Chains A and B, each alone.
Chain A
């Protein structure tokens, strides 16, 4: 591009240079390039308009109190318009989660990797199956918790254990642990 522009500028005075490059070649290349770049630039807003809008992005953090959750109980909250599971594990569930060898896991992670220090019994995960995005059962009382006592996705039969890790079924990874922090002893801020 730079090269042809250079020669053509010189030719603008003489019409056609010894190298056979004419003024019209410059105009052709310049016009087509201008239209091409302009067309490509128009694509950007056309593509970008489909991405989440400002109001959708604005609702991106949630606060909630885990103090009232008894061991063995879980609550469903909403984070970014998707369900969030917060669960306080019982001693038996903790032991079960810690007893599993990492080699037996499809997506190897320890329970400690998935919880915050000092709050090892509070498991915060998205309530979104990593297979195709259904809401797994097991957060509410009486729901099917699957073969590993955690969560069970009814859509395509993924079983998660008490640490929300995938153990059986088509889901590729563990239930996602969103970014969150304890802002006090019991309150968490997600997002």
Chain B
């Protein structure tokens, strides 16, 4: 599952030879993220975010396991336990701030990773499966992050849990019993807190499993690149190690500088102050908002204030919110253009940036009060969001005249390449 010129792993010592014949784990790593994985030589910094996402997943698992050693998912003590971590546990404040901000950074890098996919059409054949698994990972991340935010049992935890589980109550007929079953009661309480803790602990490992599938699927066609032209021969690639381990390492350093500034100097900037008030089932905060990274989807949820035919507004909002992500599953079949990279697609490029602006607007609206003009703006932005995927994208791929593509990655990088007679496109199987 690599190019024919990929370097082969050769164990150097007796121990590694012995191991290679019994459990070739070093060989697996060598082929996955080592010198045995040939990668296009022209990757830009937008290709850093996969590795960064992997880093934050590991960071979340490590800090999360540590926090679980000091936490208790009992509604009477959960809030106090978080304060216990903050005040009494050695370095507890650091672990918690790393975990809370780590979640935000995980979403930041994942959003950039997804937008990279949008711009360079990373979802196109033969990489559809990588994209589909990526969307699964994103959905799992959303579930994990939502349940994690409930654990401190503050006001936003409680009311967030109530609103989100209330979404299931919108489903006709089975909705209300389903909501009671999910919560284990009529409102979020001990039962809900306990099961959320259990699942919040489990899901990151499920994510890690799907990440392995994601990387496996990636290694079959190999990485995409900013030109969107497939790898043809050896001069188009460089080994992942040391070239991209170094480049990813540099990117990681930059992100960690920003991350540590957040953790040490602005640890609560991305959180909500109401979550430092203990959960109170009888008092709703003036503005219930989810974590910032859910804002665009929350804005879509709230955009539906009118019934449509026989579908009530509440159900419409829920359907639209889920559809706004599920639509990514069919993206590879909505965008039919044979050209991948946005660099060579003048029309697509314009609409890509309009979509980014639309999503930025939804981000803003998701955190705003539910009043005019925000409601109307949410409706317009939601309408445009779906219009982009369902109408604009398929039309662009029909009418657009792409710019000429370079012959090869080598030509794109060096300005010239020798399409030597008899040079066949490289074998992509091994």
Interface size on A, residues (CB 8 A): 31
Q: Flag if A51 contacts B314 (CB, 8 Å).
A: no
A136 to chain B, nearest CB (A): 8
Q: Is the CB of A155 within 8 A of B186?
A: no
CB distance from B9 to the nearest CB of A (A): 42
Q: Are A132 and B313 closer than 8 Å at their CB atoms?
A: no
Q: Check if B32 is an interface residue, CB within 8 A of chain A.
A: no
| Nearest neighbor of A157 in chain B, beta-carbon distance | B370
Interface majority SS on A: helix, strand, loop or mixed? loop
**A56 interface neighbour in B189, B286, B317, Cβ under 8 Å:** B189
Which of A78, A155, A171 is in CB contact (< 8 Å) with B284? A155
B281 with A83: CB separation less than 8 A: yes
A45 is an interface residue with CB less than 8 A from chain B: no
Give the residues from 41 to 85 in chain A that come closer than 8 angstroms, CB to CB, to chain B.
47, 50-53, 56, 76, 78, 80-83
Q: A50-B195, A131-B166 are in contact. Are A76 and B181 (CB under 8 A)?
A: no
Write the nearest CB–CB distance from A13 to chain B, whole angstroms. 50
Determine whether B162 belongs to the interface, using a CB cutoff of 8 Å to chain A: yes
Q: What is the interface of chain B mostly: helix, strand, loop, or mixed?
A: loop
Q: How far is the CB of B418 from chain A (nearest CB, A)?
A: 62
- A50-B182 in contact (CB<8A): yes
Q: Nearest-CB distance from B117 to chain A (Å)?
A: 31
Residue A17 is within 8 A (CB to CB) of chain B in the complex: no
**Is the C-beta of A30 less than 8 angstroms from some C-beta in chain B?**
no
A50 close to B184 (CB less than 8 A): yes
B180 to chain A, nearest CB (A): 6
B312 at the interface (CB under 8 A from A): yes
What are the interface flags for A132-165 relative to B under an 8 Å C-beta threshold, 1 for contact and 0 otherwise?
A: 1111110000000000000001111100000000
Q: Is A15 interfacial (CB-CB < 8 Å)? A: no
Is B163 in contact with A82, judged by CB distance below 8 angstroms? no
Q: Known: A76-B282, A81-B281, A133-B169. Is A51-B180 also a contact (CB below 8 A)? A: yes
Q: Are A52's CB and B163's CB within 8 A?
A: no
B residues near A120, Cβ cutoff 8 Å: none
B166, B184, B312, B371: which contacts A132 (Cβ < 8 A)? B166
Within 8 A of A (CB), among B150-195: 159, 162-163, 165-167, 169-170, 180-182, 184-187, 189, 191, 195
A169 within 8 A of B: yes
Residue numbers of B with Cβ under 8 A of A are 159, 162-163, 165-167, 169-170, 180-182, 184-187, 189, 191, 195, 281-284, 286-288, 302, 304-305, 307, 312-315, 317, 370-371, 375
**Sample of 17 further A-B pairs with CB below 8 A, known A51-B181, A53-B184, A132-B314:** A47-B181, A50-B181, A52-B186, A52-B191, A56-B185, A56-B189, A81-B185, A132-B162, A133-B169, A134-B162, A134-B284, A135-B282, A135-B284, A155-B163, A155-B288, A172-B312, A172-B315
